[in-house]
């Protein structure tokens, strides 16, 4: 239920994101999800990829600062209120979310999230009939 996410620190300059995606493409690593958070001098690229261990190695060899982080991937119906229901369950249990990113395809929404307590979040979400994806479900190892 825990998925490995890459966090890559990027200087805010033209071409850095292209360098990351090029290095991953050359190594046949697929990007399943990503988001970029920006600060004034740098950005943090967060990605769920097909082979996070290899991706970390490839990117470190190219000089990038890369960390692996544990996240959860929740799937909900793509209807109004579904995400709220899942987040409400977590907040009622005293859990908080450090960050999250999401996308929807047709009837399903997929939410990568980093709660403050992974194990407790898994227990709470499953106890409330929420669906968590495995790494294999999204092509991530």
Assess whether 48 and 16 both reside in one domain. yes
How far is residue 141's CA from residue 138's CA, in Å, rounded to a whole number?
9
pLDDT given at position 141:
63
Considering the domain architecture, whether residues 53 and 83 belong to the same structural domain is answered as no
Instruction: Give me 27's structure tokens.
Output: 């190594």
CB 96 within 8 A of CB 117: no
- State the residue range of the domain holding 91: 71-138
What single-letter DSSP state applies at residue 6?
Answer: E
Clarify whether residues 84 and 132 are in a common domain: yes
Other Cβ atoms less than 10 A from the Cβ of 77: the count is 14
Where the chain has pLDDT below 70, the residues are: 140-141
Task: Give the ranges where the chain is alpha helix by DSSP (H).
Answer: 16-26, 52-61, 82-92, 118-127
Question: What SS3 state is found at 101?
Answer: strand
Site of tokens 């929807």:
104
pLDDT at 136: 84
Q: What predicted TM-score, i.e. pTM, was given to this entire model?
A: 0.88
Domain count, the chain: 2
Examine the domain organization and report whether 62 and 75 are in the same domain: no
| Coil, helix or strand at residue 99 | strand
Rg, C-alpha atoms of the chain = 16
- Bridge partners (DSSP) listed for residue 2: 72
Largest CA distance in the chain: 46
Domain co-membership, 75 together with 133: yes
Q: Are residues 6 and 62 in the same domain?
A: yes
């Amino acid at each position: 239920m825990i998925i490995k996410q890459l966090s890559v620190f990027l200087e805010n300059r033209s071409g850095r994101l292209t360098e990351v995606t090029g290095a991953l493409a050359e190594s046949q690593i697929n990007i399943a999800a990503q988001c970029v958070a920006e600060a004034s001098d740098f950005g943090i690229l967060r990605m769920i990829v097909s082979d996070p261990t290899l991706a970390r190695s490839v990117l470190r060899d190219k000089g990038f600062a890369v960390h692996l982080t544990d996240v959860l991937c929740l799937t909900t119906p793509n209807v109004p209120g579904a995400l709220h229901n899942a987040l409400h369950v977590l907040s009622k249990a005293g859990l908080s979310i450090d960050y999250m990113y999401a996308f929807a395809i047709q009837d399903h929404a997929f939410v990568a999230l980093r709660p403050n307590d992974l194990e407790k979040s898994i227990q709470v979400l499953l106890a409330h009939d929420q669906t968590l994806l495995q790494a294999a479900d999204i092509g991530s190892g």
